[in-house]
Structure 1
Amino acid sequence: MDEFWVFGYGSLMWNPGFRFEEKRTARAFGYRRSLCVHSWVHRGTEHRPGLVLGLDYGGSCIGTAFRVASSEKADVIDYLRERELVTRVYKERTMPVQLADGRRVPALAYVTDRSHAQYAGALTAAQAAATVAGAVGKSGPNREYVLNTLAHLKEMGIRDHWLEEVAAMLEAGGGMSARA
């Protein structure tokens, strides 16, 4: 039986937006979670971009794998393409992920396109906080996205020291006047 899995590493972990039959902690190898994508739609605009997470090359990433019923597969793929491929800053990939129980399964994931104009690359925590602070898109404030994602990571027992530093700056009001 072919199973259909989706791998989430950012907002998909806490707001998948689709029905699933099973949810498991999983790790993707060869990619890391990175706040490296300028958001022009969901958490910012072209004139005041925010930042969202992407899977960027290097390391590994612990996230959430969702098993979707075969009967829901086409609808879930359509939904995810509408959500994740709005500006084509992500590439849709099927990649192996390792579930917490040791099984390896293929999962649909969205990987950052480094050649895209929205790729932010490596930023300092201060640069990221300045970008996130005050940015708002059709899905809400960028600050909310970062803090919700970090809270979910903590619930899962995942430490992301760099993202924690960005959040601390946001909570302290940092970055507001540093906007370019």
Structure 2
Amino acid sequence: MKPKDIIAGKTSLTSLWIFGYGSLVWKPDFKYKSSKVGYIHGYKRRFWHGDNFHRGNDDLPGRVVTLIEDDDATTWGVCFEVTGSQVEESLKYLNVREAVCGGYVTKLVDFIPEDDQSNQTQQALLYIATPDNPLYLGPASPEVIGHQIATRQGKTGHNLEYLLRLAEFMRRSCPHVDDPHLFSIEAAALALVPYLLGAQ
């Protein structure tokens, strides 16, 4: 089974798991049967992808997360199980939200639920933006990324909301997991808020 065949509807799936590590963790916006908090191996989450639609525009793109391959890393998020007609409906929706508007491509990964002591994996569909994507912005310091996020907004809302909701999810659902990249950017962005409010 290949990701492109799943997206194109060339497989008659009655059940599919979709892994979310960004805005999907708090706002999937598609119907699903069940969800589980857990993680995937081999990737690290980074605010290295540009967004000129949901959280920014062409002149001032926002920053959202993508995944970078790293054998020693794990990324925590939420896996959603869609069944029956939900499979086609969710894929149709995500193709617009993630692929057309977001510039993401798909991969299949092994998801490990947090509550599964046997460490059994579940294959899941993943949306990821690669460095060859035109919207890809690449690495920068927490201060630079925090400033960009604190000053950008798009059709879905302010870029800062995206950052804060992701940090809130990690603290609430994965309190035992440290995410220095995420939390350092959150601190840098929040430090700017008083100055930005004073400039208005």
Q: TM-score, normalised by structure 2?
A: 0.82
Q: Percent identity?
A: 27
Please say if 1:70 is aligned against 2:89.
no
Aligned 8 A contact 2:51 2:102 in 1 = no
Counting strand residues as a fraction of each chain, which structure ranks higher?
A: 1
The one-letter code sitting in structure 2 at the alignment partner of 1:23 is S
Aligned equivalent of 1:163: 182
Aligned equivalent of 1:13: 25
Please say if 1:137 is aligned against 2:154.
yes
The C-alpha deviation readout for 1:81-126, integer Å capped at 9, x for no partner, is 1100124631111222122212311111111211112112121101
Q: Distance in 1 between matches of 2:112 and 2:149?
A: 31
Aligned equivalent of 1:147: 164
Q: Distance in 2 between matches of 1:27 and 1:164?
A: 18
Q: Distance in 2 between matches of 1:80 and 1:103?
A: 26
1:1-180 map, 5 Å: 3-58=15-70, 59-87=73-101, 89-100=103-114, 101=116, 102-156=119-173, 157=175, 158-173=177-192
Question: Structure 1 residues 5-14 or 105-114, which shifts more?
Answer: 105-114
Q: Distance in 2 between matches of 1:69 and 1:132?
A: 35
Q: Distance in 1 between matches of 2:124 and 2:83?
A: 13
Q: Distance in 2 between matches of 1:142 and 1:68?
A: 28
Counting helix residues as a fraction of each chain, which structure ranks higher?
A: 2
RMSD over aligned Cα atoms: 1.8
Report how many residues are paired: 176
What secondary structure is seen at the aligned counterpart in 2 of 1:7?
Answer: strand
Structure 1 residues 10, 88: CA separation in 2 closer, same or farther (over 3 Å shift)?
A: closer
The one-letter code sitting in structure 2 at the alignment partner of 1:147 is L
Q: Which runs of 5+ in 1 are unaligned?
A: none
What secondary structure is seen at the aligned counterpart in 2 of 1:79?
Answer: helix
Q: How far did 1:71 drift?
A: 2.5
Q: Distance in 2 between matches of 1:79 and 1:2?
A: 17
What secondary structure is seen at the aligned counterpart in 1 of 2:133?
Answer: coil
Aligned 8 A contact 1:39 1:118 in 2 = yes
